Chain A
Amino acid sequence: MARIIIDKDLCTGCGSCISACLYDALELNDDGVAVVDADKCNICRACVSECPFEAISVEGAQNIKDDKDDYHGIWVYAEQWDGKLHDVAFELLTEARQLSADLGEDLSAVLIGHNVKSDAAELNKFGANNIYLFDDSTLAIPNEETYAYLMADLITKYKPAVVLYGATAFGRSLAPRIAAKLNTGLTADCTFLSIDKERKLLQQTRPAFGGNVMATILCPEHRPQMATVRPKVFKKEALSSPEKCNVIIETVNLNDFEPKSHIIEVVGFQNKELRVEDAEIVVAGGAGFACQEDFALTKELADLLGGCVGASRAAVDAGYASHPNQVGQTGKVIAPKIYIACGIAGAIQHLVGMENSDFIIAINNDPDASIFQIADIGIVGDVKVVLPKLIEKIKSHKAKQLAV
């Protein structure tokens, strides 16, 4: 049975492991040695790396995949719909160029769909050395089961070391199916990826524990190492002179495969209203508002600035705003020109959704709120007092502009 073991002779009682534990499972005994409460311990291993004296180890090793050294290269699954590539494919390729350089291995994209050959050229501009292409009329409407079947076959055939997916609604359904088929690891919604050059491993960092802390996760013994990344976490940047790439056309053989689910039709395209992820100016509100009427101040300010309303998870939970406007780990990841955080304390799960904004303004009555750590300009004050004044001043400025 798997468990955490603490070497009594090595443990100095420094307590580093106690503060690292997410589950409150460690304490010092009367001899000043750390002990584990097995009922609370989740064997997450956060304490193992935290111990400065290497006193903590894990019993119950993993299966080792015998042929893991045969896996090379980085793949990006390039999501498309109706032949139009999702921006997240370009964002992943842009980021993966650095990973590919650090790993010293090729970067490839996988494209599945119908009449998508022209998309291959687009992927090349973002740095894919190889493009694996499945193009068939049966693949016109994306289907997780069918696409997972093809992906798993392709991965088994070419053995990539890393496969990245966009954490879209579709990608979040596709990637776990592939992980289960291949019996490998998958890390959801990463916000930072890097390569451990020595061990040639992908370091996958994501918010954990409800977005209150960050965790770096490895998949040391299984291949491929797989991760999903939310749209807009990485910036896309085309190459000015991309190298020529190989397009490898794969045969689509679905004779032995019948998916159990499928999409019948797309029924409702989201309306054309400005979406929070597309807005250049976002006025976001959080738990600092006492009621819905007060929260409406964010809308008033957003309208005045030609922007869009955003909301923290607390504001959505309170019913002040709806989920499509939620910013953060479980909402949208955005990077507007101006982000005005009103009454938002700044939990990690929120910060990872907006920290790439160009200019951040924070208004909060708690001077110790984390939001001020990443804000460019802060006002310590009650949103209910500050916002009406701000709206009034902007209105009078605009009136003056008109008068001139």
Chain B
Amino acid sequence: MLNIVVLVKQVPNTTQVKIDPVTNNLVREGVPSIVNPYDMYAIEEALLLKEKFGGKVSILSMGPAQAKEVIKYAMAMGADDGILLSDRAFAGSDTLATSYTLSAALSKMGKADLVLCGKQAADGDTAQVPAELAEYLGMGCITYVSKICDIADGKITVERTLDFAEAKAEVSMPAVLTLNKGINEPRLPRLKDMVKAMYMSIQVLKSNDLTLDEKRISLSGSPTQVMKVFSPERKKSGYVLNGSSDEQVSALVGELIKREII
């Protein structure tokens, strides 16, 4: 029996963000919020492990009230229950404060054997929360897991991706794992399960519900500060070729010859 917690984040679908060519600003209108795509693999892997070993899959998320939607989606996929950390008192958290807050929630939730995460969030792309969280909880953490090989004797054996190779690794449980994209094929929820999930309840926890050091949450617990956000002006050094496409291609081939590429 495995008690598995999956961390899920609601993110803006940043692949749909456009930059206004005139003002160089982000065009945010109509950008929908979605389940962080990398988290889908963590939800699916948790469900596969539950099918194999039995147990329970809980979803933990942190964000505004609307982040309930991503928990509902995970429930429609098959998760048993969900907790949302949602409180204005958490706003402004960087990765460190987020990890700290999540670790307090996991401590409250009780014994988890395994915490599964996507390899990173598609909006921030930092990949920092799982390892920071593991440190706070005193757990081992293996990142970029490409395969879960075995669970036995309180240990989990995996394959992890390094820069130059794959490696076999093991970690004693409880443990945090971050999973590679493509480790499985996330299932699509069935319509009737989506309807069922709509009626499942999600526990919402506020800062008062957790044992927290107030100096370590929100802004006061966030060492990093955004100084400015900008769209870089890139200087145009080159030129666009003129003429018919045949003429353009000929000019390009001429350039390749000049540069001794061909």
Instruction: Provide the bound-state CA to CA distance between A140 and B110, in Å.
Output: 36
Take A46-B229, A260-B171, A263-B169 as given contacts and tell me if A60 and B122 are in contact as well, using a CB distance cutoff of 8 Å.
no
Closest to A167 in B: B127
Q: Is A119 in contact with chain B by the CB < 8 A criterion? A: no
> Is the pair A360, B218 in contact by a Cβ cutoff of 8 Å?
no
Q: Is A314 in contact with chain B by the CB < 8 A criterion? A: yes
Q: Is B184 in contact with chain A by the CB < 8 A criterion? A: no
A264 to chain B, nearest CB (A): 4
Residue from A208, A377, A385, A398 within 8 A of B124 (CB atoms): A208
B7 to chain A, nearest CB (A): 14
Task: Please indicate the chain A residues that have their CB under 8 angstroms from the CB of B218 in the complex.
Answer: 1-2, 43, 60
Task: Please indicate the chain B residues that have their CB under 8 angstroms from the CB of A348 in the complex.
Answer: 19, 231-232
Q: Is A95 in contact with chain B by the CB < 8 A criterion? A: no
Closest to B127 in A: A172
Residue from B88, B182, B216, B223 within 8 A of A1 (CB atoms): B88
User: Which residues of A (42-65) have their CB < 8 Å from a CB of B?
Assistant: 42-46, 49-50, 58, 60-63
- Produce 1/0 per residue, A371-392, CB < 8 A to B: 0111111111100011001100
Flag the segment in A6-14, A16-24, A97-105, A244-252 that touches B.
A16-24
Closest to A81 in B: B164
Q: Is A266 in contact with chain B by the CB < 8 A criterion? A: yes
> Is the pair B165, A218 in contact by a Cβ cutoff of 8 Å?
no
A279 to chain B, nearest CB (A): 13
Task: Please indicate the chain B residues that have their CB under 8 angstroms from the CB of A379 in the complex.
Answer: 240-241, 245, 248-249, 252
Instruction: Provide the bound-state CA to CA distance between A388 and B99, in Å.
Output: 51
B126 to chain A, nearest CB (A): 4
A92 to chain B, nearest CB (A): 15
Q: Is A329 in contact with chain B by the CB < 8 A criterion? A: yes
Take A208-B229, A210-B122 as given contacts and tell me if A373 and B164 are in contact as well, using a CB distance cutoff of 8 Å.
no
Task: Please indicate the chain B residues that have their CB under 8 angstroms from the CB of A367 in the complex.
Answer: 240
User: Which residues of B (137-166) have their CB < 8 Å from a CB of A?
Assistant: 139-144, 157, 159-166
Instruction: Provide the bound-state CA to CA distance between A317 and B94, in Å.
Output: 28
Task: Please indicate the chain A residues that have their CB under 8 angstroms from the CB of B159 in the complex.
Answer: 267
> Is the pair B225, A61 in contact by a Cβ cutoff of 8 Å?
no
A27 to chain B, nearest CB (A): 12
- Produce 1/0 per residue, B89-128, CB < 8 A to A: 1011011100100000000000000000000101111111
Instruction: Provide the bound-state CA to CA distance between A368 and B256, in Å.
Output: 24
Instruction: Provide the bound-state CA to CA distance between A378 and B221, in Å.
Output: 48
B98 to chain A, nearest CB (A): 11
Task: Please indicate the chain B residues that have their CB under 8 angstroms from the CB of A259 in the complex.
Answer: 140
B150 to chain A, nearest CB (A): 12
> Is the pair A179, B128 in contact by a Cβ cutoff of 8 Å?
yes
- Produce 1/0 per residue, B160-192, CB < 8 A to A: 111111111111100100000110000000000
> Is the pair A183, B170 in contact by a Cβ cutoff of 8 Å?
no
> Is the pair A170, B163 in contact by a Cβ cutoff of 8 Å?
yes
> Is the pair A269, B261 in contact by a Cβ cutoff of 8 Å?
no
Residue from A214, A270, A281 within 8 A of B164 (CB atoms): A270
> Is the pair A46, B226 in contact by a Cβ cutoff of 8 Å?
yes
Task: Please indicate the chain A residues that have their CB under 8 angstroms from the CB of B128 in the complex.
Answer: 172, 175-176, 179, 186, 188
Task: Please indicate the chain A residues that have their CB under 8 angstroms from the CB of B52 in the complex.
Answer: none
Q: Which residues of B contact A (CB under 8 A)?
A: 11-12, 14-15, 17, 19, 21, 23, 25-26, 28-29, 64, 88-89, 91-92, 94-96, 99, 120, 122-136, 139-144, 157, 159-172, 175, 181-182, 215-216, 218-232, 234-241, 245-246, 248-250, 252-253, 255-257, 259, 261-262
List 8 tightest A-B contacts by C-beta distance, closest first: A210-B14, A260-B140, A43-B92, A185-B223, A261-B171, A261-B140, A180-B135, A176-B131
Q: Which residues of A contact B (CB under 8 A)?
A: 1-3, 19-20, 22-24, 38-46, 49-50, 58, 60-63, 81, 86, 144-145, 148, 168-170, 172-177, 179-181, 183-189, 203, 207-222, 231, 259-270, 281, 305, 313-314, 317, 323, 329-330, 338, 347-348, 351, 355, 359-361, 367-368, 370, 372-381, 385-386, 389-390, 393-394, 397-398, 401
- Interface pairs (11), CB distance under 8 Å: A62-B222, A168-B162, A170-B163, A176-B128, A180-B99, A209-B123, A219-B223, A367-B240, A372-B238, A378-B240, A381-B245
